[in-house]
Amino acid sequence: AQSVTQLGSHVSVSEGALVLLRCNYSSSVPPYLFWYVQYPNQGLQLLLKYTTGATLVKGINGFEAEFKKSETSFHLTKPSAHMSDAAEYFCAVSDRNDMRFGAGTRLTVKP
């Protein structure tokens, strides 16, 4: 069975600082991996995805993530945080047909 673990339910960074949100997965087959962002009272928006090929994937709003099979990780990074990045971020894994989410990480950006 596939599953996702997001380390840290809350992450706080200063504006301009590096953002690092951690995600580890388990899957019985090569996984497809996703990061979604959720702003208050809204649905989830796809930030980026890894399917096959290049292990470093770039997404919207300056975010990127690297798939590391040996570490079963797919951490999300952004070099410089903006106030508008404050939101909840979800990592998800799909190993066949469905998609399962981690518990989410709430990102706070301090001025």
Partner 1 sequence: DARVTQTPRHKVTEMGQEVTMRCQPILGHNTVFWYRQTMMQGLELLAYFRNRAPLDDSGMPKDRFSAEMPDATLATLKIQPSEPRDSAVYFCASGLDRSYGYTFGSGTRLTVV
Binders in 9-28 for partner 1, by CB under 8 A: none
| Per-residue DSSP letter, 62 | G
- The smaller minimum CB distance to partner 1, of residues 31 and 81, is found at 31
Q: Does 100 bind partner 1 (CB under 8 A)?
A: yes
Number of shown-chain residues binding partner 1 (CB under 8 A):
20
**Cα 77 to Cα 67: distance, rounded to the nearest angstrom:** 12
Determine phi and psi for 4, rounding to 5 degrees.
Answer: -135, 140
Q: Does 104 bind partner 1 (CB under 8 A)?
A: yes
CB count in 10 Å sphere of residue 109? 19
**Cα 50 to Cα 37: distance, rounded to the nearest angstrom:** 16
Q: Does 97 bind partner 1 (CB under 8 A)?
A: yes
Binding window for partner 1 (CB under 8 A); candidates: 17-25, 35-43, 63-71, 73-81: 35-43
